[in-house]
Chains A and B, each alone.
Chain A
Amino acid sequence: MIDSSLKDIAAALRAKTVSAVELATESLARIEAGNAAINAFITVDRDGALTAAKAADARIAAGDAGPLVGIPLAHKDVFCTEGLLTTCGSKMLANFVSPYDAHVVGLLKKAGAVTVGKTNMDEFAMGSTSESSHFGPTRNPWNLTKVPGGSSGGSAAAVAARMVPIATGTDTGGSVRQPASLCGITGIKPTYGTVSRFGMIAYASSLDQGGAFARSADDCARLLSAMTGHDPRDSTSLERSYDDYGTDLGRPLAGLRIGLPKEFFAEGMSDDVRVAVEAALAEYRKLGATTVEVSLPNARLAIPAYYVIAPAEASSNLSRFDGVRYGHRAAEYGDLNDMYCKSRAEGFGAEVQRRILVGTYVLSHGYYDAYYIKAQKLRRLIAQDFAAAFAQCDLIAGPTNPTVAYGIGEKSDDPVQMYLGDIYTVAVNLAGLPGLSHPAGFGAGGMPVGLQLIGNYFAEARLLNAAHQFQQATDWHTRAPVL
């Protein structure tokens, strides 16, 4: 039953042809069967899931027909979950049992979703492959020798492997859209400020944004609608009315203007990705959309700007891990300073340490203007490019990733090569825009290819509408890996 759409699962729950306990049991059995090979989960909460499922069944029996009641769900391990291990993929937090829930976790609990576990990720969400986890790499369900993408690779792999129908993620530079693309599922990152960051362990606060994974746009809309909303505990949370992102899904695409940034279709995109992306765009035109060339002239600067802003903010955010109040403390140390230095050197992995060092440098005396302020100026130029493009189109489309998933270990020793893979995703975070990736076919080695759709601020409903219409006409999103 968990392979069905959320709409069908919810209907079956209400008709009592399936119970939330049965759904949770099915999900837990899938995880038990597949997790040893895929390593999508760091923590599986069998008891908690069954308790929550029983409560959901009681709610359904009492007539509660909320769209997520009784639906199995996985949280990326970046979200604090009260009473449940929250590691952020790091040795630093390998024993951290959170004393409180993230805002998103609380919202989804209230909505009646059943959390089955916490998913694997790049350490502190810093990475594009999910290989930097202290708990070992997650493997791509389509080919276990390939990366699932990152940093939310565990959530994407769990949905792709049909262990759960929905999962949360976070996207700082592409960490929802890129793994969704590489795992052949649908993922959306909304406008910055719409999902509360409270209880979401911070990486780069001006870019971090929670997002949703599911097999289809329809299911993503149901999950995202339950995640957004103003939260006074997050100072960047936006005070505005929040939509039900599912109300506009049926709108026909006739007249939709899709902008194709010429910079995204230049060299760099591999041939197999190009073929799939062009075919998807042809499908959109068949559905009544028109395509128009647009330009994002500063897009190439997005990667350097991102790799200044994100490490700068990370070096500040991660200064809280000092071995005093929570997290890893070295077993042996001399004075207080030595305790900090040893605890942090032992607790953080290599990539996290590199980003802290880069960030510390660019924020240090004499370099702040040359790096951080410069990057923030580029950020404005990039946002202005998008604004100019949206004068000519309703949505922007292009590849999510330049290639299909590559091999585990292939780029793990070369950070710069890994960073360059973020070319199509990071500009969206810098501008704070919503973005979505949906399955668009298969490339080399039978690995999934994703199409990225980028919307103007608060255009989540339009993005999901376009992806839903595409998914009514195609079946790429229904393809499942053979496990």
Chain B
Amino acid sequence: MTLSVAEVRHIAKLARLELTDSGLDATQAKLNGIFGLIEEMQAVDTDGVEPMSHPQELAQRLREDVVSETDRRTAYQSIAPQTEAGLYLVPKVIE
């Protein structure tokens, strides 16, 4: 399997990563090298094998729906790039 330049552009768009035209070929070549390695997986028959996501087969725990955190908005917003009146600022989304 090899990724075309168009496919690399498409996944970069999905991943919200701006790719420069000058870096595109090098990125494409390295990704295709990695996919060459990954393709080795396909040679193995895994029919009927149950996928494994946690080694202890742990179910996600549920907790009581109670407040467990204190309000630390000021501390958390002090590290944000841009805030105003307790809100995070981003470029205008809706005209």
- Could you list which residues of chain A lie within 8 angstroms of chain B, going by C-beta atoms? 95-97, 99, 191-193, 206, 232, 235-236, 238, 298, 300-301, 303-305, 307-308, 315, 319, 322-327, 329, 333-342, 344-345, 348, 353-354, 356-358, 360-362, 364, 370-371, 373-381, 383, 414-416, 419-420, 431-433, 457
Interchain Cβ contacts under 8 Å between A and B, 24 examples: A192-B55, A236-B58, A300-B40, A303-B37, A304-B41, A307-B37, A319-B16, A329-B81, A336-B91, A337-B16, A341-B16, A344-B15, A348-B17, A353-B17, A357-B12, A357-B27, A358-B31, A361-B31, A370-B42, A374-B42, A377-B49, A378-B44, A380-B49, A416-B34
Q: Is the CB of B58 within 8 A of A374?
A: no
1/0 per residue B34-72: CB within 8 Å of A?
A: 111111111010100111111110101101000000001
Give chain A's interface secondary structure class.
Answer: helix
Q: Is B11 an interface residue (CB 8 A)?
A: yes
- A369 smallest CB distance to B (angstroms): 10
A377 and B50 form a contact (CB under 8 A): yes
Q: Quick check: B91 and A416 within 8 Å, CB to CB?
A: no
Q: For B44, give its contact among A95, A99, A301, A415 (CB under 8 Å).
A: A301
Residues of B within 8 A of A457 (CB): 55-56
Closest residue of chain A to B59 (Cβ to Cβ) is: A235
Q: Report yes or no: B91 in contact with A376, Cβ–Cβ below 8 A.
A: no
Could you say which residues of chain A place their CB within 8 Å of the CB of B42? 370, 374
Say which residue of A339, A341, A344, A357 sits within 8 Å of B31 (CB atoms).
Answer: A357
Which residue of A has the minimal Cβ distance to B36?
Answer: A416
Q: Give complex CA distance A420, B38 in Å.
A: 12
User: Is A415's CB under 8 angstroms from B34's CB?
Assistant: yes
Q: Hey, which chain B residues are within 8 Å of A192, CB to CB?
A: 54-56
- Kindly list chain A residues whose C-beta atoms are within 8 Å of the C-beta of B81: 323-324, 326-327, 329
Partner of B46, one of A307, A344, A377: A377
The residue on A at minimum CB distance from B50 is A380
Residue of A nearest to B49 (CB): A377
Chain A residues contacting B19 (CB-CB under 8 Å) are 345
The CA of A303 and the CA of B92, in the complex, are separated in Å by 44
Please name all residues of chain B whose beta carbon is closer than 8 Å to the beta carbon of A99 when the two chains form the complex. 72, 75-76, 78-79
Task: Take A329-B82, A333-B91 as given contacts and tell me if A416 and B50 are in contact as well, using a CB distance cutoff of 8 Å.
Answer: no
B40 A419 Cβ-Cβ under 8 A: no
Q: Which of A236, A341, A353 contacts B54 (CB 8 A)?
A: A236
- Chain A residues closer than 8 Å to B39, beta-carbon distance: 304
Quick one: closest B residue to A326, CB to CB? B79
Instruction: Give the docked Cα–Cα distance between A308 and B44 (Å).
Output: 15
Q: A324-B80, A324-B90, A374-B42 are in contact. List 7 more A-B contacts (CB 8 A).
A: A97-B79, A303-B37, A334-B91, A335-B93, A361-B7, A364-B14, A383-B55
Q: Tell me the smallest distance from the CB of B60 to a CB of chain A, in Å.
A: 6
- Say yes or no for B5: interface residue by CB 8 A criterion: no
Bitwise interface map of B from 73 to 89 toward A, beta carbon under 8 Å scored 1, else 0 = 00110111110000010
A362 to B60, CA, bound (A): 24
Q: Does the CB pair A377–B27 fall under 8 Å?
A: no
Rounded to whole Å, the gap between the CB of B71 and the closest CB of chain A is 12
Chain A residues contacting B60 (CB-CB under 8 Å) are: 235
Q: What is the distance, in angstroms, from A56's C-beta to the closest C-beta of chain B?
A: 26
Contact check, B18 vs A344: say whether CB atoms are below 8 A apart: yes
A191 to chain B: which residues have CB within 8 Å?
55
CB distance from B55 to the nearest CB of A (A): 3
Query: B55's closest neighbor in chain A, by CB?
Result: A432
Judge whether B18 and A342 touch: CB under 8 Å.
yes
CB atoms of A341 and B18 under 8 A apart: yes
CB distance from A206 to the nearest CB of B (A): 6
B contact residues around A375 at 8 Å (CB)? 41
On whether A381 and B46 interact (CB within 8 A), knowing A97-B79, A325-B88, the answer reads yes
